[in-house]
Amino acid sequence: MQNENSGALSGKKLVLGVCSSIAAYKAADLLSALVKMGADVRVVMTRNAQRLISPRIFQTLSRGEVYSSMWREISEWKPEHISLAEFADAMLVAPATANTIGNFANGLAPDLLSSVFMAIDPSNVLIAPAMNSAMYSHPSLRRNMDFLKGMGVSFIEPEYGALACGAEGKGRLANMDDIVSAVLKKLTGGNP
């Protein structure tokens, strides 16, 4: 898919949110594919995601700063969560955890990623969950997802298969081609 869509995202701006799912390593491949397609991607990592995978990987692949804190010194007058939301044509959260989805659905903004979500049009947000199958099927998560869908947020459904915890079920991060297709559709109106 990547070769046939080279340049398809040229000029498009995307915020990529990376949460603390074990699938965080797959976000590096996803970022690489999006950049090769011409997208200008700014990465926002949760604090716990940085415990699983180094921000330096995302910094190198995006050729830009990786954002994670609301409280670092800034060189511009506008706080990051506002400037990132204004920068983005769309926001993709992949992988997304139950915690982050819950924050989004309940209007909580305890971190930079959730704060960016609060400052962006929900219809410009794509979420690719990745978690244990019991968590993914939990009524609280389903309620939160349904609420977000009602706000216009798009979800890229996870796959069924072997999970990192040893269980088998629905919860694996969606196939990269499916995520890239959803981003293409969102950013090009379905006309890559």
Active site residue 19: no
Please give the structure tokens belonging to residue 162.
Answer: 């072997």
* Whether the Cβ atoms of residue 172 and residue 23 lie closer than 8 Å to each other: yes
CA distance 119 to 20: 22
SS3 assignment for 31-74: HHHHHHCCCEEEEEECCCHHHHCCHHHHHHHHCCCEECCCCCCC
What's the DSSP call for residue 11?
T
Round to whole Å and give the CA distance between 69 and 47.
8
Phi–psi pair at 177, nearest 5 degrees:
-60, -35
Q: Is 161 helix (H, G, I), strand (E, B) or coil?
A: strand
Of 165, 170, 178, 185, catalytic: 165
* Residues carrying an active site annotation: 165
